A and B are shown apart, each in its own frame.
Chain A
Amino acid sequence: MHQYVFVVIGVLMAIAAVRLVTTKNVVHGALYLLMVLAGAAAIFILLLAEFVGWVQVLLYIGAVVVLLLFGLMLTRAPIGRTALDNQSRALAALVAGAIFAMTSMVLVRAFDGQMIDFSQTLTVRTLGGVLFTKYVLPFEVVSVLLLAALVGAVVLAKRDE
């Protein structure tokens, strides 16, 4: 059953991903990205990482895509028709294909035949326990990282007086 759901989500994500890079309309591109991210969230949930899945929904679908759309609306470029592409499509496809082939090979060779134990779900409590004890330092660094992002955004986006 899990495999079937996985395959369906995977195929949908692949289609959306291909459309994301081939569509002429950048806003449609952003919406296809949303679909890919939703698929990723569904796969996280399917793989028992429930909290990560919902964080994906909250942060990526709820916030990052919104940010992306605002970013698009900032540009002066009219939507669609104009070629936002350069001439390196073939090369880019080749590189992406090579990376895909390599990573799939690595993952298949490393995890071939291993099964997930679906009786053990990862609770938020387990995650919190690890995050706030063993990974407390990286957690605090996140706040410094976010502060740098905030200051950077204000510097770059604020109009001169």
Chain B
Amino acid sequence: MPEGYFGDYFTFGMFAGLVVVLVGGTLLLARLVRPRVDKDEKLSTYECGVDPIGGGWTQSTVRYYIFALLFVIFDVEAVFLFPWATVFEEIGIFAFIEMMIFIAILGLGLVYAWRKKVLEWI
């Protein structure tokens, strides 16, 4: 068993491989043992009920986009918290001030979005 940085990732890789084998094996097994029915109804979206009409592609509302973008922005913010936490104690009060300024600027951005009512789902 390898040790250290790459050893950890080796273990991780073994687990990932195990996941692939387990899931793939189960699906393969199911494929082998299940009965096969080749009928049109089997392939339609609903076997009973209303037949689907039109294409599957609909235009989604722009609200989703704003949420996704807000998510990206605050994801970036969150990522910076990791390295900050590791050095927080050593730098001390300055690190605290730095991060508070960073969060305050983005927090006010969130307040702005809130007051613009883009966070509401109408």
Contacts and interface: CB of A to CB of B under 8 A. Distances in A.
A127 interface: yes
Contact of A64 (B72, B85, B105): B72
Contacts, number: 132
A55 B75 CA distance: 10
Chain B, interface residues (CB within 8 Å), range = 35 or more
A17 to B, nearest CB: 22
B72 A144 contact: no
A150 B70 contact: yes
Interface string A45-57: 1001011000100
B109 A151 contact: yes
B interface SS class: helix
Chain A, interface residues (CB within 8 Å), range = 35 or more
A140 B101 contact: yes
Given A66-B68, A129-B90, A146-B76, A157 B62 contact: yes
Interface stretch (A71-79, A93-101, A103-111): A71-79
A151 B75 contact: no
A154 B91 contact: no
B91 to A, nearest CB: 6
A157 B87 contact: no
Interface string B48-74: 000000010101101111101111110
A132 B84 contact: yes
B45 interface: no
A76 B62 contact: no
Contacts of B87: 125, 128-129, 132
A147 B75 contact: no
Interface string A61-92: 01110110011011110110000000000000
